[in-house]
Structure 1
Amino acid sequence: MLTPDTPASPRPPLPEWRIEPGLTDYPRALATMEARAAAIADGAAGELVWLVEHPPLYTAGTSADPAELLDPRFPVYPAGRGGRYTYHGPGQRVGYLMLNLAQRGRDVRCFVHAVEQWIIRALARLEVKAFSVPERIGIWTRDGGQEAKIGAIGVRVRRWVTFHGFSVNLSPDLAHFGGIVPCGLPEFPVTSLEQLGRDARQESFDAALLLEFPTLLESLTASRENPLEGCSRTD
Protein backbone atom coordinates (compact mmCIF):
# COMPACT_ATOMS: atom_id res chain seq x y z
CA MET A 1 0.00 0.00 0.00
CA LEU A 2 1.23 3.49 -0.72
CA THR A 3 2.25 5.67 2.20
CA PRO A 4 2.71 9.47 2.23
CA ASP A 5 6.42 8.89 1.62
CA THR A 6 5.91 6.52 -1.32
CA PRO A 7 5.91 8.20 -4.73
CA ALA A 8 3.01 7.14 -6.92
CA SER A 9 3.82 5.46 -10.22
CA PRO A 10 3.03 7.60 -13.25
CA ARG A 11 -0.36 6.78 -14.72
CA PRO A 12 -0.35 5.21 -18.18
CA PRO A 13 -1.63 7.29 -21.09
CA LEU A 14 -5.28 7.05 -22.09
CA PRO A 15 -6.11 4.15 -24.41
CA GLU A 16 -6.91 4.73 -28.05
CA TRP A 17 -10.68 4.76 -28.68
CA ARG A 18 -11.75 3.29 -32.03
CA ILE A 19 -15.28 2.87 -33.45
CA GLU A 20 -15.32 0.51 -36.43
CA PRO A 21 -17.90 1.28 -39.14
CA GLY A 22 -20.06 -1.44 -40.70
CA LEU A 23 -19.98 -5.14 -39.82
CA THR A 24 -16.65 -6.61 -38.76
CA ASP A 25 -15.73 -10.16 -39.78
CA TYR A 26 -15.11 -12.19 -36.61
CA PRO A 27 -11.87 -13.94 -37.71
CA ARG A 28 -10.48 -10.52 -38.64
CA ALA A 29 -11.46 -9.15 -35.24
CA LEU A 30 -9.83 -12.07 -33.47
CA ALA A 31 -6.60 -11.69 -35.44
CA THR A 32 -6.54 -7.94 -34.82
CA MET A 33 -7.00 -8.43 -31.08
CA GLU A 34 -4.31 -11.09 -30.89
CA ALA A 35 -1.81 -8.91 -32.75
CA ARG A 36 -2.58 -5.75 -30.79
CA ALA A 37 -2.44 -7.52 -27.42
CA ALA A 38 0.96 -8.99 -28.30
CA ALA A 39 2.24 -5.59 -29.41
CA ILE A 40 1.03 -3.98 -26.17
CA ALA A 41 2.80 -6.64 -24.11
CA ASP A 42 5.99 -6.01 -26.11
CA GLY A 43 5.72 -2.26 -25.56
CA ALA A 44 5.28 -1.69 -29.30
CA ALA A 45 1.70 -0.35 -29.22
CA GLY A 46 -0.66 1.50 -26.92
CA GLU A 47 -3.84 0.25 -25.32
CA LEU A 48 -7.04 0.10 -27.36
CA VAL A 49 -10.79 0.18 -26.80
CA TRP A 50 -12.34 -1.12 -30.03
CA LEU A 51 -16.11 -0.91 -30.58
CA VAL A 52 -17.49 -3.12 -33.35
CA GLU A 53 -20.64 -4.78 -34.70
CA HIS A 54 -20.59 -8.29 -36.18
CA PRO A 55 -22.69 -10.16 -38.73
CA PRO A 56 -24.79 -12.94 -37.11
CA LEU A 57 -22.57 -15.59 -35.52
CA TYR A 58 -22.03 -17.66 -32.41
CA THR A 59 -18.80 -17.83 -30.42
CA ALA A 60 -17.70 -20.64 -28.14
CA GLY A 61 -15.74 -19.81 -25.00
CA THR A 62 -13.34 -22.17 -23.29
CA SER A 63 -16.15 -23.64 -21.14
CA ALA A 64 -18.64 -24.12 -23.99
CA ASP A 65 -20.73 -27.31 -23.78
CA PRO A 66 -21.60 -28.69 -27.26
CA ALA A 67 -25.03 -29.68 -25.90
CA GLU A 68 -25.80 -25.95 -25.54
CA LEU A 69 -25.40 -25.35 -29.27
CA LEU A 70 -29.06 -26.02 -30.09
CA ASP A 71 -29.30 -24.81 -33.69
CA PRO A 72 -26.07 -23.70 -35.43
CA ARG A 73 -27.95 -21.54 -37.93
CA PHE A 74 -25.02 -19.10 -38.06
CA PRO A 75 -21.24 -19.68 -38.20
CA VAL A 76 -19.71 -20.87 -34.94
CA TYR A 77 -16.23 -19.66 -33.97
CA PRO A 78 -13.99 -20.81 -31.12
CA ALA A 79 -13.15 -17.58 -29.32
CA GLY A 80 -10.47 -18.48 -26.79
CA ARG A 81 -12.10 -16.28 -24.15
CA GLY A 82 -13.64 -17.43 -20.90
CA GLY A 83 -17.30 -18.42 -20.77
CA ARG A 84 -19.64 -20.52 -22.91
CA TYR A 85 -21.66 -19.85 -26.06
CA THR A 86 -22.79 -16.36 -26.95
CA TYR A 87 -24.36 -14.66 -29.94
CA HIS A 88 -23.12 -11.59 -31.81
CA GLY A 89 -24.98 -9.81 -34.56
CA PRO A 90 -26.35 -6.57 -35.98
CA GLY A 91 -27.89 -4.32 -33.36
CA GLN A 92 -25.45 -5.45 -30.68
CA ARG A 93 -22.50 -3.34 -29.54
CA VAL A 94 -19.35 -5.37 -28.96
CA GLY A 95 -16.42 -3.81 -27.12
CA TYR A 96 -12.94 -5.31 -27.29
CA LEU A 97 -10.65 -4.10 -24.53
CA MET A 98 -6.90 -4.37 -24.94
CA LEU A 99 -5.57 -2.95 -21.69
CA ASN A 100 -2.24 -3.51 -19.96
CA LEU A 101 -2.95 -4.75 -16.44
CA ALA A 102 0.78 -4.76 -15.72
CA GLN A 103 0.41 -0.96 -15.65
CA ARG A 104 -3.11 -0.84 -14.21
CA GLY A 105 -2.96 -3.38 -11.38
CA ARG A 106 -2.50 -7.12 -11.85
CA ASP A 107 -5.98 -8.01 -10.70
CA VAL A 108 -8.17 -9.82 -13.24
CA ARG A 109 -11.15 -10.05 -10.88
CA CYS A 110 -10.99 -6.30 -10.35
CA PHE A 111 -10.85 -5.76 -14.10
CA VAL A 112 -13.99 -7.84 -14.75
CA HIS A 113 -15.85 -6.07 -11.93
CA ALA A 114 -14.75 -2.67 -13.22
CA VAL A 115 -16.03 -3.51 -16.72
CA GLU A 116 -19.37 -4.57 -15.26
CA GLN A 117 -19.73 -1.31 -13.36
CA TRP A 118 -18.68 0.75 -16.37
CA ILE A 119 -21.43 -0.77 -18.53
CA ILE A 120 -24.00 -0.47 -15.74
CA ARG A 121 -23.24 3.25 -15.42
CA ALA A 122 -23.43 3.73 -19.18
CA LEU A 123 -26.83 1.99 -19.31
CA ALA A 124 -28.07 4.18 -16.46
CA ARG A 125 -27.48 7.20 -18.71
CA LEU A 126 -29.99 5.61 -21.10
CA GLU A 127 -32.51 5.02 -18.29
CA VAL A 128 -31.84 1.30 -17.96
CA LYS A 129 -31.44 0.10 -14.38
CA ALA A 130 -28.88 -2.67 -14.76
CA PHE A 131 -26.96 -4.63 -12.15
CA SER A 132 -24.40 -7.36 -11.65
CA VAL A 133 -24.97 -10.69 -9.88
CA PRO A 134 -21.98 -12.17 -7.98
CA GLU A 135 -22.50 -15.76 -9.16
CA ARG A 136 -23.38 -14.77 -12.74
CA ILE A 137 -20.86 -12.74 -14.74
CA GLY A 138 -22.58 -10.30 -17.04
CA ILE A 139 -25.00 -7.41 -17.04
CA TRP A 140 -28.59 -7.93 -15.88
CA THR A 141 -31.80 -5.94 -15.76
CA ARG A 142 -35.50 -6.59 -15.29
CA ASP A 143 -37.84 -7.11 -18.21
CA GLY A 144 -41.48 -7.44 -17.21
CA GLY A 145 -40.50 -8.20 -13.64
CA GLN A 146 -38.12 -11.04 -14.58
CA GLU A 147 -34.35 -10.90 -14.48
CA ALA A 148 -32.97 -10.84 -18.02
CA LYS A 149 -29.49 -10.58 -19.46
CA ILE A 150 -28.75 -7.45 -21.47
CA GLY A 151 -24.95 -7.75 -21.68
CA ALA A 152 -22.28 -10.44 -21.65
CA ILE A 153 -18.65 -10.29 -20.54
CA GLY A 154 -15.92 -12.67 -21.64
CA VAL A 155 -12.24 -11.81 -21.33
CA ARG A 156 -8.84 -13.34 -21.76
CA VAL A 157 -5.57 -12.13 -20.29
CA ARG A 158 -2.18 -12.99 -21.76
CA ARG A 159 1.08 -11.54 -20.44
CA TRP A 160 -1.15 -9.24 -18.34
CA VAL A 161 -2.79 -7.73 -21.41
CA THR A 162 -6.56 -8.14 -21.74
CA PHE A 163 -8.48 -8.87 -24.90
CA HIS A 164 -12.03 -9.82 -25.86
CA GLY A 165 -14.45 -7.83 -23.66
CA PHE A 166 -18.22 -7.30 -23.63
CA SER A 167 -21.39 -7.22 -25.70
CA VAL A 168 -24.56 -5.23 -25.01
CA ASN A 169 -27.88 -5.82 -26.73
CA LEU A 170 -29.10 -2.58 -28.25
CA SER A 171 -31.57 -3.75 -30.90
CA PRO A 172 -30.56 -7.24 -32.12
CA ASP A 173 -33.02 -9.86 -33.32
CA LEU A 174 -33.50 -11.62 -29.98
CA ALA A 175 -34.78 -14.74 -31.76
CA HIS A 176 -31.19 -15.32 -32.92
CA PHE A 177 -30.25 -16.22 -29.33
CA GLY A 178 -32.52 -19.28 -29.70
CA GLY A 179 -29.77 -21.22 -31.46
CA ILE A 180 -27.79 -21.51 -28.21
CA VAL A 181 -28.23 -21.61 -24.46
CA PRO A 182 -26.85 -18.10 -23.90
CA CYS A 183 -23.90 -18.26 -21.49
CA GLY A 184 -25.20 -21.63 -20.25
CA LEU A 185 -28.13 -20.10 -18.36
CA PRO A 186 -31.38 -21.54 -19.80
CA GLU A 187 -33.53 -20.19 -16.97
CA PHE A 188 -32.95 -16.53 -17.87
CA PRO A 189 -34.14 -14.72 -21.01
CA VAL A 190 -32.17 -12.11 -22.91
CA THR A 191 -33.40 -8.58 -23.51
CA SER A 192 -32.31 -5.38 -25.23
CA LEU A 193 -32.65 -1.62 -24.96
CA GLU A 194 -35.14 -1.72 -27.81
CA GLN A 195 -37.20 -4.39 -26.01
CA LEU A 196 -37.23 -2.19 -22.92
CA GLY A 197 -38.37 0.84 -24.91
CA ARG A 198 -35.13 2.78 -24.40
CA ASP A 199 -32.83 4.66 -26.76
CA ALA A 200 -31.14 1.84 -28.69
CA ARG A 201 -29.04 3.91 -31.08
CA GLN A 202 -25.38 2.93 -31.25
CA GLU A 203 -24.21 6.52 -31.11
CA SER A 204 -26.15 7.08 -27.87
CA PHE A 205 -24.67 4.02 -26.18
CA ASP A 206 -21.16 4.76 -27.44
CA ALA A 207 -21.40 8.30 -26.06
CA ALA A 208 -22.54 6.92 -22.69
CA LEU A 209 -19.62 4.48 -22.65
CA LEU A 210 -17.15 7.27 -23.36
CA LEU A 211 -18.60 9.52 -20.64
CA GLU A 212 -18.33 6.73 -18.07
CA PHE A 213 -14.96 5.37 -19.20
CA PRO A 214 -13.06 7.32 -16.49
CA THR A 215 -14.86 5.21 -13.85
CA LEU A 216 -13.28 2.07 -15.30
CA LEU A 217 -9.79 3.59 -15.27
CA GLU A 218 -10.30 4.97 -11.74
CA SER A 219 -11.21 1.51 -10.44
CA LEU A 220 -8.10 -0.01 -12.01
CA THR A 221 -5.93 2.82 -10.70
CA ALA A 222 -7.28 2.29 -7.19
CA SER A 223 -6.42 -1.40 -7.42
CA ARG A 224 -2.89 -0.63 -8.66
CA GLU A 225 -2.16 1.99 -6.01
CA ASN A 226 -3.78 0.08 -3.12
CA PRO A 227 -3.25 -3.60 -3.99
CA LEU A 228 -3.90 -4.84 -0.44
CA GLU A 229 -7.37 -3.31 -0.54
CA GLY A 230 -8.30 -4.96 -3.83
CA CYS A 231 -10.65 -3.55 -6.41
CA SER A 232 -12.46 -0.33 -5.64
CA ARG A 233 -16.14 -1.31 -5.48
CA THR A 234 -18.76 1.19 -6.54
CA ASP A 235 -21.93 -0.95 -6.51
Structure 2
Amino acid sequence: MDLAFRRLGFHPDVVDYAEALDIQRRLHAEVLADESPSTVLLLEHEDVYTAGRRTEPEDRPRDGTPVVDVDRGGKITWHGRGQLVGYPILKLAERAMVKGYVAALEEIIIRVLDQEFGLRSTTVEGRSGVWMTDGPRDRKIAAIGLRVHRSVTMHGFALNCSNSLAPFENIIPCGIADADTTTISAEVGTEVTPADIVDPIAAQLAAELPRFLSVTENIAAAEGVLS
Protein backbone atom coordinates (compact mmCIF):
# COMPACT_ATOMS: atom_id res chain seq x y z
CA MET A 1 0.00 0.00 0.00
CA ASP A 2 1.06 3.59 -0.62
CA LEU A 3 1.86 6.30 1.91
CA ALA A 4 -1.10 8.64 1.54
CA PHE A 5 -1.84 12.27 2.49
CA ARG A 6 -5.26 13.75 3.32
CA ARG A 7 -5.92 17.44 3.91
CA LEU A 8 -8.97 17.59 6.14
CA GLY A 9 -9.51 21.35 6.28
CA PHE A 10 -7.81 24.73 6.57
CA HIS A 11 -9.10 28.18 7.49
CA PRO A 12 -11.89 29.03 7.05
CA ASP A 13 -12.85 25.34 6.90
CA VAL A 14 -11.27 24.36 10.21
CA VAL A 15 -11.85 20.89 11.67
CA ASP A 16 -13.57 20.05 14.95
CA TYR A 17 -11.21 18.11 17.25
CA ALA A 18 -13.71 15.35 18.03
CA GLU A 19 -14.31 14.81 14.31
CA ALA A 20 -10.58 14.55 13.61
CA LEU A 21 -10.09 12.18 16.54
CA ASP A 22 -12.83 9.92 15.21
CA ILE A 23 -11.16 9.92 11.77
CA GLN A 24 -7.85 9.01 13.40
CA ARG A 25 -9.36 6.11 15.32
CA ARG A 26 -11.15 4.68 12.30
CA LEU A 27 -8.06 5.07 10.14
CA HIS A 28 -5.88 3.48 12.83
CA ALA A 29 -8.08 0.36 12.75
CA GLU A 30 -7.98 0.26 8.95
CA VAL A 31 -4.19 0.67 8.78
CA LEU A 32 -3.73 -1.99 11.44
CA ALA A 33 -5.87 -4.38 9.39
CA ASP A 34 -4.06 -3.48 6.14
CA GLU A 35 -7.33 -2.11 4.76
CA SER A 36 -5.90 1.41 4.27
CA PRO A 37 -2.38 2.69 3.62
CA SER A 38 -0.37 4.53 6.23
CA THR A 39 -1.79 8.04 5.98
CA VAL A 40 -0.78 11.55 7.09
CA LEU A 41 -3.72 13.81 8.02
CA LEU A 42 -3.01 17.54 7.70
CA LEU A 43 -5.40 20.15 9.04
CA GLU A 44 -6.22 23.24 11.07
CA HIS A 45 -8.41 22.76 14.17
CA GLU A 46 -11.23 24.63 15.82
CA ASP A 47 -9.85 26.14 19.05
CA VAL A 48 -9.49 23.44 21.74
CA TYR A 49 -7.38 22.42 24.73
CA THR A 50 -6.32 18.77 24.80
CA ALA A 51 -4.71 16.97 27.73
CA GLY A 52 -2.38 14.02 27.36
CA ARG A 53 -1.98 11.26 29.93
CA ARG A 54 0.66 13.07 32.00
CA THR A 55 -1.36 16.28 32.50
CA GLU A 56 -1.45 17.47 36.12
CA PRO A 57 -4.35 19.45 37.66
CA GLU A 58 -2.21 22.58 37.91
CA ASP A 59 -1.47 22.45 34.16
CA ARG A 60 -5.12 22.96 33.20
CA PRO A 61 -6.78 26.28 32.21
CA ARG A 62 -6.85 28.80 35.02
CA ASP A 63 -10.33 30.00 34.04
CA GLY A 64 -11.97 26.56 33.93
CA THR A 65 -12.18 26.34 30.12
CA PRO A 66 -13.22 22.78 29.12
CA VAL A 67 -10.45 20.36 28.12
CA VAL A 68 -10.58 17.23 25.94
CA ASP A 69 -8.68 14.39 27.61
CA VAL A 70 -6.95 12.19 25.03
CA ASP A 71 -4.85 9.03 24.94
CA ARG A 72 -1.63 10.54 23.60
CA GLY A 73 1.56 11.03 25.57
CA GLY A 74 2.61 14.37 27.00
CA LYS A 75 0.62 16.99 28.88
CA ILE A 76 -1.83 19.75 28.00
CA THR A 77 -1.64 21.87 24.89
CA TRP A 78 -3.84 24.04 22.67
CA HIS A 79 -4.86 23.62 19.04
CA GLY A 80 -6.64 26.15 16.87
CA ARG A 81 -6.73 28.54 13.96
CA GLY A 82 -3.33 29.45 12.62
CA GLN A 83 -1.67 26.20 13.72
CA LEU A 84 -0.68 23.43 11.30
CA VAL A 85 -1.51 20.02 12.76
CA GLY A 86 -0.27 16.73 11.34
CA TYR A 87 -1.49 13.28 12.35
CA PRO A 88 0.59 10.52 10.72
CA ILE A 89 -1.23 7.19 11.09
CA LEU A 90 1.67 4.89 10.28
CA LYS A 91 2.26 1.16 10.58
CA LEU A 92 5.82 1.09 11.87
CA ALA A 93 8.13 -1.69 10.75
CA GLU A 94 9.23 -2.12 14.39
CA ARG A 95 7.97 -0.74 17.70
CA ALA A 96 11.59 0.15 18.52
CA MET A 97 11.44 2.80 15.78
CA VAL A 98 9.30 5.17 17.87
CA LYS A 99 12.21 7.22 19.21
CA GLY A 100 13.68 7.63 15.74
CA TYR A 101 10.26 8.51 14.34
CA VAL A 102 9.82 11.32 16.88
CA ALA A 103 13.31 12.60 16.07
CA ALA A 104 12.44 12.54 12.36
CA LEU A 105 9.31 14.67 12.91
CA GLU A 106 11.39 17.20 14.85
CA GLU A 107 14.10 17.26 12.17
CA ILE A 108 11.55 17.73 9.38
CA ILE A 109 10.13 20.82 11.08
CA ILE A 110 13.60 22.17 11.84
CA ARG A 111 14.65 21.70 8.21
CA VAL A 112 11.56 23.40 6.77
CA LEU A 113 11.84 26.38 9.14
CA ASP A 114 15.46 26.85 8.07
CA GLN A 115 14.96 26.34 4.33
CA GLU A 116 11.75 28.36 4.00
CA PHE A 117 12.27 31.17 6.53
CA GLY A 118 15.89 31.10 7.68
CA LEU A 119 14.81 30.27 11.23
CA ARG A 120 17.39 28.38 13.26
CA SER A 121 15.27 26.16 15.48
CA THR A 122 16.48 23.13 17.42
CA THR A 123 15.61 20.42 19.91
CA VAL A 124 16.16 20.75 23.66
CA GLU A 125 17.45 17.81 25.68
CA GLY A 126 14.76 16.34 27.89
CA ARG A 127 11.96 18.22 26.13
CA SER A 128 10.02 17.13 23.06
CA GLY A 129 9.16 19.35 20.14
CA VAL A 130 11.00 22.12 18.30
CA TRP A 131 12.38 25.20 19.99
CA MET A 132 13.86 28.64 19.41
CA THR A 133 16.73 29.08 21.87
CA ASP A 134 18.28 32.41 20.85
CA GLY A 135 16.66 34.55 23.57
CA PRO A 136 16.62 34.88 27.35
CA ARG A 137 13.94 32.13 27.53
CA ASP A 138 13.45 29.17 25.21
CA ARG A 139 10.37 29.43 22.98
CA LYS A 140 8.48 26.37 21.77
CA ILE A 141 7.36 26.62 18.15
CA ALA A 142 6.16 23.05 17.57
CA ALA A 143 4.78 20.36 19.89
CA ILE A 144 4.81 16.58 19.40
CA GLY A 145 2.62 14.06 21.19
CA LEU A 146 1.99 10.46 20.12
CA ARG A 147 0.24 7.23 20.88
CA VAL A 148 1.46 3.94 19.44
CA HIS A 149 -0.89 0.96 19.64
CA ARG A 150 0.14 -2.35 18.10
CA SER A 151 2.90 -0.53 16.17
CA VAL A 152 0.46 1.92 14.50
CA THR A 153 0.88 5.58 15.41
CA MET A 154 -1.74 8.20 16.25
CA HIS A 155 -1.66 11.94 17.00
CA GLY A 156 1.48 13.77 15.87
CA PHE A 157 2.71 17.37 15.68
CA ALA A 158 1.38 20.93 15.94
CA LEU A 159 3.36 23.76 14.36
CA ASN A 160 2.52 27.31 15.45
CA CYS A 161 2.23 29.43 12.30
CA SER A 162 -0.02 32.49 12.67
CA ASN A 163 -2.09 31.59 15.73
CA SER A 164 -2.61 33.79 18.76
CA LEU A 165 -0.38 32.96 21.73
CA ALA A 166 -3.01 34.10 24.24
CA PRO A 167 -4.50 30.59 24.76
CA PHE A 168 -1.12 29.35 25.99
CA GLU A 169 -1.12 31.98 28.73
CA ASN A 170 -4.16 30.28 30.28
CA ILE A 171 -2.34 26.96 30.82
CA ILE A 172 1.11 25.58 31.52
CA PRO A 173 1.70 24.32 27.97
CA CYS A 174 3.19 20.84 27.88
CA GLY A 175 3.73 21.19 31.64
CA ILE A 176 6.72 23.50 31.09
CA ALA A 177 6.59 26.65 33.23
CA ASP A 178 10.07 28.06 32.56
CA ALA A 179 9.71 28.59 28.79
CA ASP A 180 7.49 30.45 26.34
CA THR A 181 5.70 29.68 23.09
CA THR A 182 6.11 31.38 19.73
CA THR A 183 4.93 31.24 16.12
CA ILE A 184 6.59 31.41 12.73
CA SER A 185 4.84 34.73 12.13
CA ALA A 186 6.18 36.21 15.37
CA GLU A 187 9.71 35.09 14.55
CA VAL A 188 9.84 36.38 10.95
CA GLY A 189 7.72 39.50 11.44
CA THR A 190 5.16 38.72 8.73
CA GLU A 191 2.10 36.49 8.62
CA VAL A 192 2.75 32.86 7.73
CA THR A 193 -0.37 30.68 7.75
CA PRO A 194 -0.67 26.88 7.83
CA ALA A 195 -1.66 27.00 4.15
CA ASP A 196 1.63 28.78 3.40
CA ILE A 197 3.77 26.02 4.87
CA VAL A 198 1.78 22.82 4.38
CA ASP A 199 3.35 22.00 0.99
CA PRO A 200 7.01 21.97 2.13
CA ILE A 201 6.06 20.12 5.32
CA ALA A 202 4.16 17.49 3.31
CA ALA A 203 7.06 17.12 0.88
CA GLN A 204 9.52 16.47 3.71
CA LEU A 205 7.15 14.02 5.41
CA ALA A 206 6.75 12.14 2.12
CA ALA A 207 10.53 11.94 1.73
CA GLU A 208 11.35 10.88 5.31
CA LEU A 209 8.50 8.79 6.71
CA PRO A 210 8.55 5.80 4.31
CA ARG A 211 11.71 4.44 5.97
CA PHE A 212 9.70 3.81 9.15
CA LEU A 213 6.88 1.89 7.50
CA SER A 214 6.22 -1.82 7.67
CA VAL A 215 7.94 -3.70 4.87
CA THR A 216 4.54 -5.13 3.89
CA GLU A 217 3.60 -1.72 2.51
CA ASN A 218 4.49 -0.70 -1.04
CA ILE A 219 5.67 2.90 -0.73
CA ALA A 220 4.87 5.17 -3.67
CA ALA A 221 7.01 8.01 -4.97
CA ALA A 222 6.33 11.34 -3.26
CA GLU A 223 5.01 12.83 -6.51
CA GLY A 224 2.05 10.52 -6.35
CA VAL A 225 0.92 11.14 -2.77
CA LEU A 226 0.90 14.90 -2.26
CA SER A 227 -2.58 15.67 -3.52
Task: Assess same fold via TM > 0.5.
Answer: yes
User: Is the Cα–Cα contact under 8 Å of residues 83 and 193 in structure 2 kept in the other structure?
Assistant: no
Question: Which of 128, 152, 155 in structure 2 is aligned with 1:164?
Answer: 155
For the pair 1:201 / 2:190, whether they are aligned, the reply is no
TM-superposed CA distance for 1:84, in Å, is: 0.3
What is the SS of the residue equivalent to 2:157?
A: strand
For structure 1, which segment, 162-171 or 18-27, has the greater mean C-alpha deviation from structure 2 after superposition? 18-27
Query: CA-atom RMSD, angstroms?
Result: 2.2
Which region of structure 1 is more displaced relative to structure 2, 211-220 or 47-56?
211-220
- 1:66-105 paired onto structure 2 within 5 Å: 66-72=57-63, 74-102=65-93
**Which residue of 1 is the match for residue 209 of structure 2?**
217
Aligned to 1:16: 5
The answer on 1:25 being equivalent to 2:16 is yes
1:155 alignment partner, SS class: strand
Structure 1 stretches lacking a partner, 5+ long: 1-11, 225-235
- TM-score, normalised on structure 1? 0.82
Taking structure 2 as the reference length, what is the TM-score of the superposition?
0.85
| Residue number in structure 2 paired with 1:120 | 110
Tell me how many residue pairs correspond in the alignment.
211
Contact 1:105 1:220 in 2 (8 A): no
**How far apart in 1 are the matches of 2:171 and 2:9?**
27
Contact 2:185-2:192 at 8 Å conserved across structures: yes
Deviations 1:181-218 (A, max 9, x none): 00011100000011112551222210220232244226
Q: Which has the higher contact order (CA 8 A, sep 6+)?
A: 2
Once residues 148 and 210 of structure 2 are traced to their aligned partners in structure 1, the CA distance between those partners, rounded to angstroms, is 20
Which has the higher Rg, Structure 1 or Structure 2?
1
- Give the whole-Å Cα distance in 1 for the aligned partners of 2:158 and 2:147: 15
In structure 2, the gaps of 5 or more residues are 216-227
Instruction: Specify the alignment match of 2:182 in structure 1.
Output: 191
Q: Does 1:52 align with 2:43?
A: yes
Alpha-carbon separation, structure 2, partners of 1:38 and 1:152:
25
Structure 1 counterpart of 2:99, from 62, 87, 109: 109
Q: Take 1:52 and 1:143, find their aligned partners in 2: how far apart are those partners?
A: 29
Asked if the contact 1:57–1:87 (Cα under 8 Å) also holds between the matched residues in 2, the reply is yes
